[in-house]
Structure formats: C-alpha cells, structure tokens
Amino acid sequence: MRKLDKPSFTQKEILDSCISNMTDLNLVTLLVSKSSEFDKAYDLYNSHAISNDLHLIAENHSIEGIEQNVLKKLYKDKLSKDGQPARIYYNHLMDLSLDSMCTACGYRPADTLDHVLAQTKFPAFSINPLNLVPMCIACNKKKNSDKSDGKDFNAIHPYYDDIEDFLWLKARLEEEVPFEINFEVDELASEDKELMKRICNHFDKFALNKMYRIYAGTEISAIIYDLQEIFNGGNSTALKDELDRSKRKRKGIYKNTWQFAFYEELSTNEWFLNEMLKLDITSILKG
C-alpha cells in the first residue's frame, strides 16, 4: 500500500522504444499509425483511475485495428525482456520506490511489474506505465486477473491514492498466551467511506494481517528477554518508556506500518505492561 509518484515518462516513449528495433516493418507502420489510439487509451485509463472507476472500463478493451496478441507481445517480447531497448522503462518502473518494495504489501521486495488491469483482459493497457506497478510474486498471485466488483473493491493504486495522510492501521493484542497480536483497519479513520472500504478490501485481499502477524512474532521473540528484564526491575514506567521510544523510532515517512501499530499497542495495553511479563517466556512464545 505504498504511494509512488506517477512515472515521468509517457506511453509514447515506451512504444517508440518497443518499435525501435523491430524488423517487421509492416508492424512498425501499423503501430505508428495507431499512435493516437494508444494516447486515447492512456487518457481513458488516467481519467478512470483519477475517479476510482477503473472497474467501468469494458473487458477486452483493445487498440482498434491491432490484434490483442500483438499488444501482449509488446510487453512480453519488448518492454519486459532483458536486452531489449524498452527494458530500460521496465527497470525505471521497478525503481520508482525508494526501497524497491512491493506496492501492495509494502514489506516484500518487488519482483515483477503487475498489470493493475490484467493484460489478458485489457490488452490496450499492456505497456501503459500508469497500469504497471512494482509488486512481489506473493501479492501478484493473490491478486489474480479477476475484474473488480466495483468502486469499493478497486485495490489501492500507488500512483493515484495517498493513504498515508492519516492513521488507519491498528494492532490488537490478544490478552492470553502464547503471544498473539492481530492487525486490522480502523474503518472510522477517515470520513471517506469509499476509501476506507477499499483499504479494508485491499488489506483482506493481500492477507496483510497474516503477514504482519508473522513479522510481529519475529519481533516479540527478539525483544522479549530485554522487556522482561526491564519489567523484572520492578519499574513498569521504564517498560512503557522503552516501548514508547521504540514506537517513535518507527515513525518514518509511512504512518501505517506494522511496527508502529505493534509498539503503539504494546505501549498502551495495560495487560501487557502489568501482567504478561510475569509469565515464563516459554509460555509467552510459541514452540
């Protein structure tokens, strides 16, 4: 769920690069003659994405006069293929984020470019940079090519949606052992109900709670001995101070990180601060 600046280059630049070393001159002539159709498709996508209406674009939307297979091959054999001139644009898109992380989950390295509107159903956007976002393989598999069921189900789009203006990710410690913490979306975090539903659906679709729980389990294993030592010192204020310090350190450019939500919950949960660390660590940790 990472926000990225829109790609600075145009679809026309990509298309020109794709055809720059084509040997089929008839195909080159055809593609050049359809340049304005590519521009129209680009503008259609942009206007629908701005209004969160990508689901309204009809399936099999293509470029008139060009076979769908040709459009798909522009991506497969030119834009994404190592050694091709257009591959430079693929690499630029992969490098759009500072840390090269997946834009859907935010916590695994991006492995590939995902077609927001699947190229199998929307070949007109196969080389449209606005439709191509860095994603990890795991999220790419979860996403599948199904069309969105409506506005509320359109995944958060990294070039159009900014969901870092407000805090919406929360953690909830289950007050029992072994240690278990769950992550959820605060549906009341914004008055924009449509956006909140989209965040919730995105969160569920990409199974982010499961992923964040695993990371949180690793984190608690790493810090539990230290925290218990502070707790056994008999000073619960010192424990809270330590957790508050850890929370502040996790406050970076992204507000909605599992780390910030994790420390926010631990530093404010009375049961964790006063009771849990009385227990044996082996009963707190699984296994």
Q: Which stretches of the chain bind Zn ion, using CB under 5 A?
A: 102, 104-105, 108, 136, 139
Least distance (Å) between residue 138 CB and Zn ion = 6
In the complex with Zn ion, which residue's Cβ is closer, 208 or 276?
Answer: 208
Q: Which of 65, 86, 79, 95 is nearest to 17 (CA)?
A: 86
> 166, 134 in Cβ contact below 8 A?
no
In the complex with Zn ion, which residue's Cβ is closer, 46 or 112?
Answer: 112
Least distance (Å) between residue 131 CB and Zn ion = 17
In single-letter form, the type of residue at position 191 comes to E
Least distance (Å) between residue 106 CB and Zn ion = 7
3-state SS of 129-178 is HHHEEEECHHHHHHHCCCCCCCHHHCCCCCCCCCCCCCCCEEEEEECCCC
Least distance (Å) between residue 185 CB and Zn ion = 17
In the complex with Zn ion, which residue's Cβ is closer, 100 or 218?
Answer: 100
Q: Helices 11-19 and 25-33 meet at what angle, rounded to 10?
A: 160
In the complex with Zn ion, which residue's Cβ is closer, 102 or 273?
Answer: 102
Name, in order, each residue with C-beta under 8 angstroms of 193's C-beta and a sequence gap of 6 or more: none
In the complex with Zn ion, which residue's Cβ is closer, 109 or 233?
Answer: 109
Least distance (Å) between residue 46 CB and Zn ion = 24
